[in-house]
Structure 1
Amino acid sequence: MPALVVGTVSHVRRAPMRHAFENAHYQWLVDLDALPRFRGPLRWLARFDARDHLDGGRLGGGIRGDLSRWLAGRGVVVEPGDRVLMLAHARVLGHVFDPLTVFWCLRADGSPRAVVFEVHNTYGERHAYLVEADERGRARLDKEFYVSPFNDTSGTYDLAWRLTSDQVLVSISLERAGSRVFTAVTTGRPVPATTSTVLRTSARHLFMTHRVSLLIRWHGIRLWLARLPIQPRPAHSQEAVR
């Protein structure tokens, strides 16, 4: 830690029309108490700001402070000895778009105290979910947040993840009326974020977060041109991340 999780991201939309893609991809896996602080040109390739997550660092304490307050408001107390890991995109050349951030709050013995999924949409909104997992590392919860303009807020998420030294995987499937309509999976192998690894990975995946923003909009345009109906976007409260 910190590590780069280098692999792929894939989306499969099954209804009301089929659309699928898979792209090369990388994210960062970091400890919130030891965020990487690069100097020189490297700082333009990886920067982590509280403003990009949860309450935006409004009350201080950085990302961990925001997460601790958010969890406390939902009955979960983060202890000083807990380790909090974050899987996310970093800012690259001043830009970041992070469709999904995952936080693992781990007790001193490594067992999970809490898992939080933070979802961002292209309208500048974000929403956090407290995930209650079973012994297999799987969970189900109701969808509450408008993400894609082609899906409303109805349905249930089926979530799964793996966090090991060999693989980091996160899977989200949306189910509606007993049918699976959409699945997104990000998976990769964590490698130590040395200077050479950061430079090499950044060169191989140029403008990573810029490409994420562009590809989301490009696939949205394709679906719109295919006449997939757009769903109304409801108002969203910032209290979901405070």
Structure 2
Amino acid sequence: MASTPADTSVLYECRIRHVRRGRVANDFTYSSYLWLVDLDRLPHLPGPLRPLAGFTPADHFTGTDISIRAGLEDFLADRGVSFTGGRVLMLTAARVLGYVFNPLTVYWVRDADDRLLCVVAEVHNTYGGRHAYLLFPDEEGRANVAKEFYVSPFLPIEGGVYRMRLPEPDDQLSIAIQLDVPDAAPFVASVHGRRRAATTRELLRLAARHPLAPLAVAARIRRQGIALFLRGLPVMPRPKADRSAQRIKDLTKTGGQ
């Protein structure tokens, strides 16, 4: 990938863990890989490799912006954050063979003086919905935010608080999110990975070791959900407003057909 400088795009081979305590406990770990990219210098892969890594604005924020960075800038402007131009690093799963599923995309936003301005955590659920949280972490990358979006059918929205630790990755990737909900044990998700050079050889190795990675992640999460349901974990109804918003989004994508 000679057209993509190694210092602006890297790969992380990861171990992702979900831990649920309480009456129906579950400890679920799987492996995958993620990209860390500069939004101003997205990877441009050689023709034969392009199906292995796509980064498109349709997969982030409203899905209608001309670029991922434009979507981020609109999101920040809507929340009164002045962003006059600086480096943005995005940790995400790329679209592979036309499919993408990103439980979490993280943006580290720096101002023109290269100081960390904020962090944006964009959460995607298995129903095709997405929601972004604006964070102002401390020096250790920690921030708390109220839950506002339906993710798991087993966890409520009301009263939930995310306690996030999202330090900008270096040689190691180590992030964690704990969801505290009233009268229940916390749910914890973590991602740990090692930095890899974004070379053709490394991408091919990871793609072979984790085939159809986004599809595999979505399938594993759904399989775990079915197992928890069969073990008697009660389901929280999906909010009607969330279903209506998703229906409008689907109609927009299909031209109302």
- Please, what TM-score do these two structures have when normalized by structure 2? 0.87
- In the alignment, the residues of structure 2 paired with residue 180 and residue 167 of structure 1 have an alpha-carbon distance, to the nearest angstrom, of 29
Q: 1:33 aligns with which of 32, 35, 40?
A: 40
Q: 2:215 aligns with which of 205, 210, 214?
A: 210
- In the alignment, the residues of structure 2 paired with residue 83 and residue 135 of structure 1 have an alpha-carbon distance, to the nearest angstrom, of 18
SS of residue matched to 1:146: coil
Q: 1:121 aligns with which of 125, 128, 145?
A: 125
Deviation at 1:136, TM superposition (A): 2.2
SS of residue matched to 2:75: helix
- In the alignment, the residues of structure 2 paired with residue 52 and residue 59 of structure 1 have an alpha-carbon distance, to the nearest angstrom, of 10
- Between 1 and 2, higher relative CO (CA 8 Å, sep ≥ 6) is seen in 1
Aligned match of 1:165: 170
The total of aligned residue pairs comes to 235
Q: 2:188 aligned with 1:183, yes or no?
A: yes
Structure 1 residues 75-94: aligned runs within 5 Å: 75-80=80-85, 82-94=86-98
Deviation at 1:109, TM superposition (A): 4.0
SS of residue matched to 1:213: helix
Aligned match of 2:30: 23
Structure 1 residues 1-242: aligned runs within 5 Å: 1-56=8-63, 58-60=64-66, 62-80=67-85, 82-154=86-158, 155-177=160-182, 180-234=185-239, 235-236=241-242, 237=245
* Alignment CA distance shift 1:32-1:106 (3 Å): same
Equivalent residue letter for 2:45: F
SS of residue matched to 1:145: coil
RMSD: 1.5
Aligned-residue sequence identity (percent) comes to 47
- Please, what TM-score do these two structures have when normalized by structure 1? 0.92
- Structure 2 residue runs of 5 or longer lacking an equivalent are 1-7, 247-257
Choose between structure 1 and 2: higher strand proportion.
1
Question: 4+ residue runs of structure 1 moved beyond 4 angstroms?
Answer: none
